[in-house]
Chains A and B, each alone.
Chain A
Amino acid sequence: MTRRRFLHAAGALGALAGLRRLAPASVSPANGSQLIPDVETRVVGSNNRVELVIDRTPFGFGGRRGIATTINGSVPGPLLRFREGERAAIHVTNRLREDTSIHWHGLLVPNAMDGVPGVNFPGIHPGQTFVYEFPLRQYGTYWYHSHSGFQEQLGHYGPLIIDPIEPEPFQYDREYVVMLSDWSFENPLKILDNIKKQGSYYNFQRRTVGDFFRDVDRAGLRATIADRWEWGKMRMSPIDIADVTGSTYTYLLNGLPPASNWTGLFRPGERVRLRFINAGAGSYFDVRIPGLEMTLVQASGQHVQPVTFDEFRIEIAQTFDVIVQPTEDRAYTIFAESMDRSGHARGTLAPRAGMSAEVPKRRPRPTLGMMDMGMAMSMGGHGGMSMPGMDMSGTQAPAKPSADASMAGMDMPTPKPAAPAASGHAGHDMGSMRGMVTPDMASSGGAGVFEGTLRDGTIIRASNLRAPGTIPEPVMHAGSTHGSASAGTAMETRSRLSEPGAGLGEDGWRVLVWTDVKRLTPAATFEAPAREIELHLTGNMERYMWSINGIKYSDAPDPIPLKHGERIRLTIVNDSMMAHPMHLHGVFMELENGHGPECPYVHTINVKPAERVSLLATPVDPGPWAFHCHVLLHMDLGMFRVFQVSEPDGTMTTSEGAAV
């Protein structure tokens, strides 16, 4: 079947990612059950052997045609479904004219199976078949995607589910994968070229003269001029929410544009599990289903204590499993607005095929506030900047004093005062540090634990670390501002896990925030970190440069050394004005959101502008692991590092193909 016919059929009949396993028999036959094998490859051959073929396939909608990079001919690729405790054998054949790869996002696999060309393996060359084989050591909702070039933007991604051995602590009657993504008919290389030459190329929501006068009406002339000057001084724009927008992207839900209206069926009263996956190359989505509340049961594939809300923002590469219970015999819209409000993806939950509900209007695009710039403290003195009533108010509102947030604060064992070195960049003197660190030094452990600054500007601390599971204190940025690659270093960074994020939380309904999320079962042992590794996310929108510590990956080839089994705290500080979904391969991270042993596991965490996020991890799988921003362009331009985990005996091994 051609992709076009498949799309058409799926769009009309729904159940693109519908799973028969849990669906009553009455749903499937009349709804094109012959389609389902196309998306469900749970049983391919035997012993969890799966064949995947990467190829170029015509893809289009709305009368426009393009060429997608597909997995077994579809976008998204097939749903892979395994069971925890078993072994997967996935044969990937490359029919492209360029190298390809698959990375299993969030899966704990042996290093050589992680699929990052230049880090873990040389990539899959044209015509070659690579066999990924690994044990399934976890349960949950994940996804997989290319780690080569721009293939992910071109459709090379798919959902992946691992059913747990243990019964799940929640019930549901049926389930759907809801995979959100973004598609452009423009060549991604062209998109990058355009944005490199004009940062605002795709932004058609910039502030105009009209906005100026509207702000004057609301906030007064003086305040408006002061606001414009504050931003103008920084040569930044408070509407820099997304680099690539709906002006070229069409937002897809399970591979379908809004007009195709993907539909998942339910019978009133049933509990429906929705496995949300954000496979966007550059888009965050704000998801709600008007008329239904959602209960989070898994985040990053791991069980969490149920928390109920009306809307959530799904960061790029994140997965959230929610349960909804539609009781009425009517259709409900799954509405996923892009964070910058330049477009939306949409689907429907309905008792019968062919139904649809009202599609909400998109809200106005959010405006960043000075808090997003890490200017909160310094603004205290300038009365002119409070700007009451301006559209920035939403994002400027201080963290909501929600029960969870305040609890989070109270839970904290009294944090030790931040060590002097903690205030940013004492000793960020690259020249004098050059050549100072070798992997053995950092991995030698014991008495000689390395403390200082790596050549690439990464700060390592081994003393005066605060208690595990606590929220970082606000810290004023000191010392280096990371050079010309970094524009507008945040003066003060702090935790923003209790904030929903720019443009959310002002609509009078409940919005999920990370301080609401707790692991289902508290950690049996919850060790304090032995070392803290602090990295600063940096960028310069004027030249569209992205880096870590002001240094692009291509200028920072040394891996950051980690010792096998050591307890580390990874502190990520966002010194840029855009949000970055940061992903560390090869290990689960415990997000320090104030809940101690109940801190949730994550594989990806969004870091808001001017935010300081810390995570605990205990890497055990040896080898080089990628750490990067999951905005594809940011990663490709240099917001990328490698963490090298030593062997249990302390030695470092480099896997083949590690030379970039």
Chain B
Amino acid sequence: MDLDRVIRTFVLAEQLEVHANQPERPVDVELVSWIGGDYRRLFLRVQGEQSTRRSGGGEMQGDVLYGRFIAPYWSVVAGARVDTRLRKDVVSVDGENPSNGRRAPSARSTRGMIAVGFVGLAPGWFELEPTLLVSDKGDVSLDLQSSFDLLLTQRLIVQPWVEINAAVQAVPEIGVGSGLNDVEVGARMRYEIRRKFAPYLGVSLLRRTGVTAATTHNLGERRSVGTIMAGLRIWR
């Protein structure tokens, strides 16, 4: 008995994918994991993107959150986020002549943030992870992720998702404007060869808005980015 007290470790590579149509051919990884029991869990989330081209940069974001299971479908979480961006090149406005372009914010920028939020399941079976972030400089932002499983068959599953980033204050160094920054919607269609092993294909559309869009536009990035991806979803 006491099997309910076993400490379990869950590691889900929700994304392990190549963005096939992007010039940088970035590889994108998202790990969602927890360790703990029924009521108390340590959540670890890692999201990273790395260009496979020599010119390209990357970014990584990691969360360490302590969670308490407070309601049937909800854990309240609190912890820290580290956000690192790496740029190897200066990017031009038109993408042709780097010397004409403005300077990129920096070659490498790292932000530390305090994170509080929820991890849970909203009515309608939506996985929901609203996270409020306060940076070491006092900037407040909000990150909201939600996804949903739609079963075409018992093994062929479409997972639409949305991610919304908003900020209270602008942080120009990293291209963050105030207000709604960007919205990304997408869908991945996976085939569960096994429950724990599912290759997938997906599409997404990132739309930057407001100040963020203008800033990043000046940095040579497009307002809207459509992505086609292929990858694997695995867990243990």
Contact = CB atoms under 8 A, between A and B. Distances in A.
Interface string B145-160: 0000011111100000
A206 B4 CA distance: 26
Interface of B: 1-5, 8, 10, 38-39, 69-74, 121-125, 150-155, 195, 235
B2 A543 contact: no
30 contacts: A194-B195, A197-B235, A198-B195, A201-B195, A204-B154, A204-B155, A206-B154, A207-B151, A208-B153, A210-B152, A233-B124, A235-B73, A235-B122, A235-B123, A484-B39, A484-B69, A484-B70, A484-B71, A484-B72, A484-B74, A485-B72, A487-B72, A487-B73, A540-B72, A543-B69, A545-B38, A554-B1, A554-B2, A640-B1, A660-B1
Contacts of B69: 484, 543
Question: What is the interface of chain A mostly: helix, strand, loop, or mixed?
Answer: mixed
A207 B151 CA distance: 7
Contacts of A207: 151
Interface in A141-200: 192-194, 196-198
Given A197-B235, A488-B72, A637 B3 contact: yes
A232 B2 contact: no
Contacts of B153: 208, 210
Contacts of A235: 73, 121-125
B3 A192 contact: yes
Contacts of A232: 123-125
Contacts of B154: 204-206, 208
A553 B152 contact: no
Contacts of A210: 152-153
Contacts of A612: none
The size class of the interface chain A forms with chain B is 35 or more
Contacts of B10: 197
A540 B152 CA distance: 26
Contact of B1 (A118, A540, A545): A118
Contact of A233 (B8, B70, B123, B155): B123
A146 to B, nearest CB: 13
A633 to B, nearest CB: 8
A540 B38 CA distance: 10
A552 B37 CA distance: 13
B196 to A, nearest CB: 8
A636 B1 CA distance: 5
B1 A196 contact: no
A1 interface: no
Given A235-B123, A484-B71, A637 B4 contact: yes
Contacts of B71: 484
A623 interface: no
Given A204-B155, A235-B121, 13 more contacts: A192-B3, A194-B195, A206-B151, A208-B152, A208-B153, A209-B152, A229-B124, A232-B124, A233-B124, A484-B70, A485-B72, A540-B72, A637-B4
Nearest to B41: A543
Contacts of B72: 484-488, 540, 542
Interface string A477-492: 0000000111110000
B235 A554 contact: no
A624 interface: no
Given A194-B195, A196-B8, A235-B121, A543 B38 contact: yes
A556 to B, nearest CB: 12
A205 B124 CA distance: 19
B1 A542 contact: no
A257 interface: no
Nearest to B154: A204
A552 B195 CA distance: 28
Nearest to B70: A484
A423 B179 CA distance: 50
A145 B93 CA distance: 75
B38 A485 contact: yes
Interface in A469-511: 484-488
5 shortest A-B CB distances, which residue pairs? A487-B72, A232-B124, A208-B151, A233-B123, A204-B154
